[in-house]
Structure 1
């Protein structure tokens, strides 16, 4: 079975903010086309938009969306879209007017154990036998450091720092001064450890739109790096405009539900609400590209890795 990804056939040099908003996204006077805002859509919604486009679509999207598989039950031919005389550019989220975040956090944030059931003995994953030297006790190490804006150097508060393993997913947040601290059981530490950092959604100046200021990023850290103080640089999201198509890769990503591997076909069926062994109810879906996927699961996940985890209870 094949996996489908978005493909940027031609990037556009026009400015999104100068286009005329409409019900489909915005209208570009230069090329007389509607530009769909993919940044507001799920992978399933994007897949449906492309299938209905008849090979002609222009969109606004993020670099992350180009690197994430689309959800599509039907494998179709590659899209080859006709666009001409379009120059490449990227729009940085930092050019947008961003309101102040309403979230304030002044006290130490406790570690959140999102997933803590035992690993199934039948799961085939990469696990190293060596363990790092603990920095706080015989059972835990402390991953600590700070989060700062990559351009201005100012501290970033309420960044979500998550250690991802098959057995456990541990989370903490950065404080007002950008510092963070995460206690990690020693038996969760490998030679390669995946830390995912995500950021708050801000409101636009008019309060009508959600805006992501910083891009989600995965770090693959050594035992030495995760056992010492680490600086995380928050990078503004890159927005891309242009003609969009699709391309396919032959190998499917690995899907883990409750630490057990399920078929990619069942996962895609579940996305469409069809009967499947995959249960997406009250689940958050985390996708990891090759480097992080292999660090978490092993070489079988070279085509990517999805982990389905329970949504936190309120």
Structure 2
């Protein structure tokens, strides 16, 4: 049977309390290594779990990695019954096609600068100089604290009367202009990331530092990660489960039996309790299995 990667009970011990070891962390509470799977692909994950055999393994994952079957290109030996897909799912075939179209790229020819353009540029520069006399420029770059990668962040210069805002570009750079007349000896800047996995940050700058280009690092809060004991068995549907196969409801017992025999033929989307309300208003339903039969 295809291994279904999940963590039934996430660990409550903080990762910060664990010791850093090669390939992960070591938990003193359990006297056990917690393997970091976050940068591994499905085949690499499966090989580690296969090598562990019946031994329980604790792991660290991104949330997007779990609650799904492992997609393994090469064969991994898991103890399972091998049989032929029969009429249990015959006739239920999901097919889909996608057509991608890309707009043709065009290249604009270079235009020689004329004297008029040069004159316009000089006038523009004079206007910019005049503007700079009245405004103070704040600039810098914002990156992640864990990897140093550029972040998408809204930058706010906060005063009682008004908030002056700007945003980073794709490379993490920001630039913000404020009237010089509102400057004080100390100023408050707020950095609000669009990605919830990084924490908002408030920084007080003295006026002599405010004009310097700043490198701001936002802390990664691990809200997109989960860790704990790994379970590779697919969660059995129960009488409180709603099972939909190719758009039709199926008895949960029939689904459990069929999945264990023909797991490789199913594309299963497991919907836990907190998301059930998006599909049904019935309070008796605690989880949903939306299932499609893969084409042969």
The answer to which structure has the higher helix fraction is 2
The answer to which structure has the higher strand fraction is 1
**Fold match, TM over 0.5?**
no
Q: What range describes the TM-score normalised by the shorter chain of this pair?
A: 0.3 to 0.5
TM-score by length of 1: 0.33
**Structure with the greater alpha carbon radius of gyration:** 2
